[in-house]
C-alpha cells in the first residue's frame, strides 16, 4: 500500500514528486536528543535553537509540522544536529578530492596513481583529516 501522500500512477507505480514532507514530535525530539549527545546543539545559533524549540512545542501540542518553508528550515537544522565529526571530515575530504580532479592533468602526470586513490573512501577520509595540503 502506498504512503498516504503518495500518488499512484498507472501500472501500480508510485509518484513521490509532489509528496509533502512533514515532521512529527517524535522525529524532532529524537534529533534534538542526538544533537545534545554529540554536542551539535551548542553549535547552533540562538535563533536556530529558538526555532527548533518552538517547533518541538508546536508539534507536541498541535501535531505534525507540514508548512513547506518551516519544514525546509527544520531539515537544515536536523542535518546540523545529526552531523558527526567523521561525516564532516569525509565531506571536507570529498571537497578536496573534487578540487584535485578539477585542477587538471598536471597533477596526474607526476602522480598517475592519484586518480585511483581519489576513488578510495579511506584516502578521501585521510584528505579530509588534513593529510594533503593543497596550495591555493
DSSP the chain: ---TT-EE-GGG-EE-TTPPP-B-HHHHHHHHHHHHHHT-GGGS-HHHHHHHHHHHHHHHHT--B--HHHHHHHHHHHHHHH--HHHHHHHHHHHHHHHHHHT-HHHHHH-TTHHHHTT-HHHHHHHHTT-S----
98 lies in some domain: yes
Same domain, yes or no, for 72 and 95?
Answer: no
pLDDT value, residue 102: 83
- Per-residue pLDDT tens digits for 55-99: 999 999 999 999 999 999 999 999 999 988 888 899 899 988 888
Supply the range of the domain harboring residue 121. Answer: 86-128
Instruction: Band the pLDDT of 19: cuts 50, 70, 90.
Output: low
How far is residue 35's CA from residue 57's CA, in Å, rounded to a whole number?
17
Inform me whether the pLDDT recorded for 1 exceeds 50: no
Provide the number of structural domains found in the chain: 2
Query: Is 84:38 a contact under the CB 8 Å cutoff?
Result: yes
Same domain, 38 and 96: no
Say if residue 60 is in the same domain as residue 47.
Answer: yes
Same domain, 25 and 71: yes
Q: Higher-confidence residue: 73 or 2?
A: 73
Residue with cell 595540503: 133
Report yes or no on 22 lying in a domain.
Answer: yes
User: Which pLDDT score is estimated for 117?
Assistant: 87
Indicate if 79 and 99 belong to the same structural domain. Answer: no
Higher pLDDT, 8 or 72: 72
Backbone dihedral angles phi then psi of residue 65, each to the nearest 5 degrees: -95, 125
Q: What is the pLDDT of residue 108?
A: 76
Contact 124, 118 (CB under 8 A): yes
Read off the pTM: 0.63
Same domain, 107 and 51: no
Query: Are 71 and 93 in a shared domain?
Result: no
pLDDT at 126 over 80: yes
- Please check whether residues 75 and 105 belong to one and the same domain: no
Same domain, yes or no: 74 and 102: no
> Is 133 part of any domain?
no
* Average pLDDT value for the chain: 83
Q: pLDDT at position 41, please?
A: 96
7 φ/ψ angles, rounded to the nearest 5 degrees: -105, 125
Record the cell numbers describing residue 35, joined without a space. Answer: 544533537
Query: Does residue 2 lie within any of the structural domains?
Result: no
Domain membership flag for residue 56: yes
Name the band, by pLDDT with cuts 50, 70 and 90, for residue 134: low
Say if residue 90 is in the same domain as residue 63.
no
113 vs 16: CA distance, rounded Å: 42
| Higher-pLDDT residue of 128, 3 | 128
Amino acid at each position: 500500500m502506498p504512503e498516504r501522500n503518495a500518488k499512484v500512477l498507472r501500472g501500480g507505480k508510485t509518484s513521490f514528486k509532489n509528496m509533502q514532507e512533514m515532521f512529527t514530535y517524535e522525529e524532532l525530539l529524537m534529533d534534538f536528543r542526538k544533537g545534545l549527545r554529540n554536542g551539535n546543539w551548542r553549535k547552533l545559533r540562538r535563533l536556530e535553537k529558538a526555532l527548533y524549540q518552538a517547533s518541538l512545542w508546536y508539534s507536541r501540542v498541535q501535531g505534525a509540522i507540514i508548512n513547506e518553508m518551516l519544514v525546509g528550515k527544520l531539515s537544515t537544522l536536523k542535518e546540523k544536529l545529526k552531523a558527526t565529526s567523521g561525516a564532516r571530515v569525509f565531506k571536507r575530504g570529498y571537497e578536496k578530492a573534487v578540487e584535485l580532479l578539477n585542477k587538471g592533468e598536471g597533477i596526474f602526470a607526476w602522480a598517475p596513481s592519484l586518480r585511483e586513490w581519489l576513488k578510495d573512501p579511506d584516502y578521501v577520509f585521510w584528505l579530509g583529516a588534513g593529510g594533503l595540503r593543497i596550495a591555493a
